Amino acid sequence: MSVVTRKLIAKELYVNRWFIVGGCVSGVVSVLIAATGKMGFNVGALTWLTTIIATGVMLGLYGIMNERKEHTLQFVLSLPLSIADYVRAKMLGLTACFLVVWLVSSGAALLLVFAKDTVADGIAPYTVLLCVFMLANFTVVLCGSLHAQSEALTSAVIVVTNMGVSIFMFTVAPLPGIEKYLSGPAPVWSSTFWTVLGCELAVLIIAFTLPFFLAARRRDFL
Amino acid sequence: MNDKHIDMRNVRKIYRFFTLDDVSLALEPGQIMGFVGPNGAGKSTTLRLLMGMNSPDAGQIRVLGHEIPEAQAVAKRDIGFVSAEMRLLPHTTLGWHMEFMKSIYPEWDGGYAATLVKRFNLRPEQNARSLSLGEHVKATLLLALARRPRLLILDEPTTGLDPVARHEVISELMDVLRDESRSILFSSHNTVDVERISDTITFIDRGRIVDSDNKEDFLERWRRIQLQLPDGVELPALPNIVKREVDGQFVTLTTNQFSAGLRSLIGPHVTHVHRMSLEEIFVANVMHHREARAQ
């Protein structure tokens, strides 16, 4: 990895520092709210979901779309790097930004599941699946934003991925291998869990690696 | 070995509503080329192709001896690029940008950067978002110049600037030109700025290069000749006349190849021979080529 790529990854972490700090604080506060009782759990879960989704969307919009719209992309592309270097730095840099918020929020959520007696430990596999789904969802937003040439297309990707979260929750939770153990006293890592996780990881890997092969070969970046 | 700083040959770039067609440019070390064209002529497209931001559909581009876009990462180590459109990164200060550039370019000249900060009346602690257009241009110019690049590519850097900011930018560029090994490609539709700093001028219009020459030769070649023809006298067929305007007995000819021979061909009816400004040459040149293309 070139020095410029490394500097650009560090640049993403610096430029998006307030998103990261805000996302982490919001994620932890959401989990604390969720720990206050049944009503609090619902409110906290909603704000926790919103925090992770919004962080991903903001990073995609501000990190890629606005860079193009506000002509800061010209500044970045004038640096000694190729289009492939730029795509690599963008993918790694923005993913690193998201990972900080994701790790803190996901860690806090799992801590709540295992530490709080009022929350059944059986929900842990579903929580893991939801967290990984949102990570995969972010990589799809990132991949779409890097490929989309227009704001409208990027917005469409964001809308579809946001809808994806609701669809995921309503289709995965009722799966027999998941629903059966949700209220259980101990987590059960069923075959359904591993199948869904496998699908999520496949989407994540494809969405994460696709820009390295396609966007990095784009002939026109402005 | 090809030692040109820019060597662009027969480049074509096709967009849906615009085509850059058969563009060739050559910039020697130490040369300052003014790249002049009306809005939408293809100036920015050409410069982006040189920077590897876009790729040509046909033709070859070499910058500082490197193939573009393939070896753009290496070539751009020695290129300073400034565009009027370019903006600094949000949520950062100018000082942060200076540190960022210093960490990327080993040639970064901190002393010179500090001098430019003072000369341009900038504040390193100022947030990028709060910079005015003029300050943005001066800041990006500072970041490009303090790297001491061998080649400067400037895309309409004075567009939209007030006269004072324009003067500051042009003065700094003229200072840079004292280093004879550096070369500059300077695009603009402001011929006054181009005339001040360029030694070579290339005109582009509607995606095609219409003329390219030494500035002095341009100014020497082009003339507006006024004559008064007595009744019944007709002008002989004259070469190199790009425009002929007739108002009764008064005729105004514009030539792109003025010479003593042409003057003697016209005969004794010449009343005035005017030198033309670069702007007049630019407009006459573009209009002549548009008419020639239309025929």
- pLDDT tens string A102-111: 999 999 999 9
In B, which residues are within 8 Å of A72 by CB distance?
86-90
Whether A222 is in a domain gets the answer no
Q: Chain A contact for B271, CB < 8 A? A: no
pLDDT (mean) for A81-89 = 91
Residue A59 · residue A97 · CB < 8 Å: yes
Instruction: Determine the pLDDT at residue A21.
Output: 96
Cis-peptide, bond into residue B69, ω within 30° of zero: yes
Contact yes or no for B104 and A78 at CB 8 A: no
Instruction: Determine the pLDDT at residue A89.
Output: 93
User: Which tokens in the block code for residue B288?
Assistant: 């002549």
Contact yes or no for B76 and A81 at CB 8 A: yes
Residue range B206-259, pLDDT digits in tens: 999 999 999 999 899 999 999 888 887 787 788 889 888 888 889 999 999 988
Cβ-Cβ contacts under 8 Å between A and B: the total is: 81
Residue B77 distance to chain A (closest CA, Å)? 5
In B, which residues are within 8 Å of A77 by CB distance?
51-53
- Please name every residue paired with B270 in a beta bridge, in sequence order, or none if there are none: B227
Residue in the block written with tokens 């500044």: A75
Domains of chain B, CATH where assigned? 6-211 (3.40.50.300), 218-294 (no CATH)
d(CA A198, CA A212): 22
d(CA A93, CA A221): 18
Q: Which residue of B has its CA nearest to A19?
A: B91
Residue range B90-130, pLDDT digits in tens: 889 999 999 999 999 999 999 999 999 998 889 999 998 88
Contact yes or no for B69 and A82 at CB 8 A: yes
* Local structure of residue A186 (DSSP, 8 states): S
Whether A92 is in a domain gets the answer yes
Question: DSSP of B140-205, one letter per residue?
Answer: HHHHHHTT--SEEEEESTTTT--HHHHHHHHHHHHHHTTSTT-EEEEEES-HHHHHHH-SEEEEEE
Q: Which residue of A has its CA nearest to B97?
A: A11
Based on C-alpha coordinates, what's the Rg of chain A?
18
Q: Chain A contact for B74, CB < 8 A? A: yes
Interface test with A, best of B86, B103, B153 (most A CBs within 10 A): B86
User: Which tokens in the block code for residue B18?
Assistant: 């615009």
What is the domain extent for residue A33? 3-217
In this model, does residue B1 exceed pLDDT 70? Answer: no
Nearest to B218 by CA among B187, B246, B244, B194: B194
User: Which tokens in the block code for residue B86?
Assistant: 């370019």
Of A53-67, A131-145, B25-39, least confident by mean pLDDT is: A53-67
Tally of domains within chain A: 1
pLDDT (mean) for A21-49 = 93
User: Which tokens in the block code for residue B294?
Assistant: 């239309």
User: Which tokens in the block code for residue B146?
Assistant: 């303090």
Q: Chain A contact for B103, CB < 8 A? A: yes
Contact yes or no for A74 and B83 at CB 8 A: yes
Whether A32 is in a domain gets the answer yes
Instruction: Determine the pLDDT at residue B2.
Output: 61
Residue range B274-294, pLDDT digits in tens: 999 989 999 999 999 888 888
Nearest to B234 by CA among B269, B272, B261, B260: B269
Run of H or E including B250 = strand B250-255
Run of H or E including B19 = strand B19-27
Q: Which residue of A has its CA nearest to B104?
A: A4
In this model, does residue A222 exceed pLDDT 80? Answer: no
Q: Which residue of A has its CA nearest to B14?
A: A220
pLDDT (mean) for B70-75 = 93
In this model, does residue B263 exceed pLDDT 90? Answer: no
Contact yes or no for B91 and A74 at CB 8 A: no
In A, which residues are within 8 Å of B86 by CB distance?
71-72, 74-75, 78
In this model, does residue A150 exceed pLDDT 80? Answer: no
Contact yes or no for A220 and B51 at CB 8 A: no
Q: Chain A contact for B73, CB < 8 A? A: yes
Prediction ipTM score: 0.86
d(CA A17, CA A100): 10
Q: Which residue of B has its CA nearest to A6?
A: B104
pLDDT band, residue A175 (cuts 50/70/90): very high
Tell me the pTM: 0.87
Contact yes or no for A82 and B83 at CB 8 A: no
Is the Cα torsion angle B180, B184, B190, B191 positive or negative in sign?
Answer: positive
Whether A165 is in a domain gets the answer yes
Q: Chain A contact for B54, CB < 8 A? A: yes
Contact yes or no for B48 and A2 at CB 8 A: no
Q: Which residue of A has its CA nearest to B54?
A: A220
Residue range A61-75, pLDDT digits in tens: 888 888 888 889 999
* Local structure of residue A1 (DSSP, 8 states): -
The closest CB to that of B54, out of A62, A75, A219, belongs to A219
